[in-house]
Amino acid sequence: MPVQYTIKLYNKLGVAVGIVTPLDIAVVHKVNTPSVATFSVNLEAPVVDDLDYGYIIEITRSNPDIGMQAYTEFTGFIRFWNRSYGQNPILSVTAVDAKCIMQDRVVAWYPNLLGTSFFKTSVYTTASSIMVELWNRNVGSQANGNPPYFGANLTRRYGTGLQRWTDGRVTTATNATDLGIGSAIEVSCSGENVLNTMVKVADTGGLDFTVNFTIATLNYSLFYADNLGADRRSYIKFSQENNTIGNLSQTTNVINYASLFHAVGKGKDKNNMRSRYPTTAPTGINLREAYIKGADQTSTNQLYNLAYSRFRRQRLSIEAFDIEVLQTGTWRYGRDYFLGDVVYVETEPVKAFSRVTDPLTRKVYAVSLSMDSQGVEEVRIDLAEI
């Protein structure tokens, strides 16, 4: 029996409308990125008349024959559709998950307002403390009115006109609570897209996040953690020996490697603000420099964070493993592991030719699912270094 996909359709109020029978379907997930689902349906199907912008779809996936119980693979909102009036009239639909609520918002606060558009490490000491404020003050109940540090000094300087540019509150959104996790970062973000800022803070702070959505109550809630999923290393180890890995290759690429990143911001000539990472620069032939423009950064701390982020991102691509994860009876996505989970990868064939001696720790970073009109499913798993 093949894997079964069921698409339930709800209107904007969360009232069930019907079941969609797709001709084909695809779902793409990526950590800290909005998930996207696409499907097509016969244009003459009765449910087509009920499809509209903002309607909610819930996709469940199951296969009892292999022990995969029904679970929710995707919940999101219809944002695109296309009607094709050919010999076989087809409606193609695209939906985006609840992280789109942040994609729809900007940090609509004036510049340099502590706690809304400016965060310094002496006050906001963790990444999560910033992420919570970004959510609460652009989506939650505090997305209206004055900034948190609206004291007499700001009143004298600006009067009382420092409120959020427009009321951004979503009445069904739950305010987030700070768990005090993630590395500190200094950031200025007035006018930036909220999702982009959240990704920047999470990336530098080493956190994963998502937005959970409950259809029955139309509730949005921010979830964040060190890792989006569970740590399954105690029992999940992908390997060629247990037939869960197909092709396995290792690539080392230092052609464009930089050992020192200079980040330069505002100012003229020698008065430019600048910072670098690492703080202690390599010397001699070990010094390989890169330059980053940081004109939108307002302090040397922010320039340091920018340089650190580029250095960290580069590290992930210097020594890369291309791992083809197979779906076999041993381990299957949706039954044994999910997006964001932490797993082991056994690299036995590599050990004889490299310095790698221990199993690799990897995160299930991206998942692509698709099923064609013949019922054939394809599953692609991308693993990333933590």
Report which of 261, 253, 257 is spatially closest to residue 279, judged by C-alpha positions: 261
What's residue 340's pLDDT?
96
What's residue 152's pLDDT?
63
- Strands 219-225, 208-214: pairing kind: antiparallel
Q: Are residues 353 and 244 in the same domain?
A: yes
3-state secondary structure of 251: strand
Go through the chain and tell me how many residues it has: 386
3-state secondary structure of 330: coil
Q: Are residues 329 and 300 in the same domain?
A: no
Among all chains, which residue has been given the structure tokens 């001709």?
23
**Over 42-61, what HEC string results?**
ECCCHHHHHCCCCCEEEEEE
Give the CA distances from residue 342 to residues 163, 243, 248, in Å, rounded to whole numbers and listed in that order.
42, 19, 19
- Tell me, yes or no, whether 69 lies in a domain: yes
- Tell me, yes or no, whether 231 lies in a domain: no
- Tell me, yes or no, whether 370 lies in a domain: no
With a threshold of 0.75, does the pTM exceed it? yes
Domain count, the chain: 4
Q: Are residues 274 and 204 in the same domain?
A: no
Domain boundary among 59, 80, 97: 97
User: Cβ distance 205 to 153 under 8 Å?
Assistant: no
- Average per-residue pLDDT in the chain? 89
| The token pair that represents 319 in the structure block | 């020594």
The per-residue pLDDT for range 266-294, each reduced to its tens digit, is 776 667 788 999 999 999 999 999 998 87
Please give the residue range of the domain that contains residue 173.
103-225
- Tell me, yes or no, whether 353 lies in a domain: yes
Torsion on CA atoms 249, 250, 255, 256, rounded to nearest 10: 100
User: Cβ distance 98 to 75 under 8 Å?
Assistant: yes
| The token pair that represents 263 in the structure block | 């980040």
Q: What is the Cα 272 distance to its own chain's centre?
A: 33
Report which of 242, 248, 254 is spatially closest to residue 350, judged by C-alpha positions: 248
The per-residue pLDDT for range 240-264, each reduced to its tens digit, is 888 999 888 878 788 888 999 999 9
Please give the Cα distance from 78 to 54 (Å, whole number): 5
The yes-or-no verdict on residue 333 having pLDDT over 90 is yes
Give the CA distances from residue 373 to residues 8, 16, 40, 42, 87, in Å, rounded to whole numbers and listed in that order.
19, 25, 10, 12, 17
Please give the Cα distance from 207 to 199 (Å, whole number): 9
Q: Are residues 17 and 53 in the same domain?
A: yes
- Tell me, yes or no, whether 369 lies in a domain: no
Q: Are residues 145 and 192 in the same domain?
A: yes
Where residue 141 falls (left for φ over 0; alpha for ψ -120 to 50; beta otherwise) is: alpha
Q: Are residues 144 and 73 in the same domain?
A: no
Report which of 207, 143, 150, 149 is spatially closest to residue 169, judged by C-alpha positions: 143
Q: Are residues 174 and 245 in the same domain?
A: no
What's residue 272's pLDDT?
78
The per-residue pLDDT for range 29-73, each reduced to its tens digit, is 999 999 999 999 998 888 887 788 899 999 999 999 999 999 999
Q: Are residues 309 and 338 in the same domain?
A: no
Q: Are residues 90 and 126 in the same domain?
A: no
Please give the Cα distance from 226 to 209 (Å, whole number): 9
Provide the CATH number for the domain around residue 21: 2.30.300.10
- Tell me, yes or no, whether 230 lies in a domain: no
- Tell me, yes or no, whether 194 lies in a domain: yes
Please give the Cα distance from 245 to 308 (Å, whole number): 33
What's residue 270's pLDDT?
67
What's residue 359's pLDDT?
87
Q: Are residues 110 and 200 in the same domain?
A: yes
Neighbours of 74 (CB within 10 A): 22
Average pLDDT over residues 116-140: 95
User: Cβ distance 275 to 303 under 8 Å?
Assistant: yes
Q: Are residues 289 and 330 in the same domain?
A: no
What's residue 46's pLDDT?
82
Q: Are residues 213 and 274 in the same domain?
A: no
**370-374 LR contacts (CB < 8 Å, sep 24+):** 370/24, 370/25, 370/26, 370/27, 371/2, 371/3, 371/5, 371/24, 371/25, 371/26, 372/24, 373/23, 373/24
User: Cβ distance 264 to 291 under 8 Å?
Assistant: yes
Domain boundary among 46, 67, 97: 97
The yes-or-no verdict on residue 355 having pLDDT over 80 is no
Under 8 Å CB-to-CB from 283, ≥6 apart: which residues?
none
- Tell me, yes or no, whether 296 lies in a domain: yes
Please give the Cα distance from 290 to 256 (Å, whole number): 9
Q: Where are the beta strands (DSSP E) in 253-333?
A: 260-264, 274-277, 289-293, 319-325
List 80's β-bridge partners, or say none.
94
Cα-based angle 189, 191, 196 (whole degrees, multiple of 5) = 60
